[in-house]
Structure 1
Amino acid sequence: MKFNGIRIAALLLGATIAGGPALADELKVVEIKIENHTFQPSSVEVPANTLVKLLIENLDSTPEEFESYQLNREKIISGGETGTVYVGPLDPGTYPFFGEFNPDTAQGELIVK
């Protein structure tokens, strides 16, 4: 009986893993750089109703905090490091973000279409 339970568990695990690529196809990866206290690019377009992975590389020597009230996200990224922020799935619209430590220069937007 134990052996059959192991077989069933293995089949369920295989079915779960087999569903993985379909989920991966729905993940949009976006690379953003922080340089001279600005986001580059400052405007990023992504598809609606899609999970988005933001890879934010801080090329400055000082930390920056990625923040967005509309996305309900904040993340401190040390100088020379890369941070990851997941958002979505999102409805169409424009979602501004900014650098908390340099709000006058570090401005950007996520445009969802």
Structure 2
Amino acid sequence: MQRQIYDCAAGCPVESTLQVIAGKWKSVILYHLLTTGTCRFSTLQKRLPGCSRRMLARQLQEMLQDGVIAKRVYPVVPPKTEYWVTPFGQTLKPVIMAMEAWGRQYNSVNGNIIS
């Protein structure tokens, strides 16, 4: 099956949304932050075993730049860093939770493992 390519004009709202949550891990990171609140970098790493440390750092940095999440670095050794969803990022909650619901339905219909 060939994928449909949509020709979104510049400024398309769907394209804008995808630019913020696109990337293999951004939506999953947002899901964990939205459902559990503030997380340390190491906690996110444990919840995303397939995501390399470098990729996690990159995805977090991009979301920080977009204003979707915020972070606090504590001046301790080793460094302690916490991340949370900003009020602006909270506006994505209905989108992320709809993705979760759709994924659960997809998994149950297709016999995939539901976690």
Q: Which of the two has greater strand per residue?
A: 1
TM-score by length of 1: 0.22
Q: When you count helix as a share of all residues, which structure comes out higher? A: 2
TM-score, with structure 2 as normaliser = 0.22
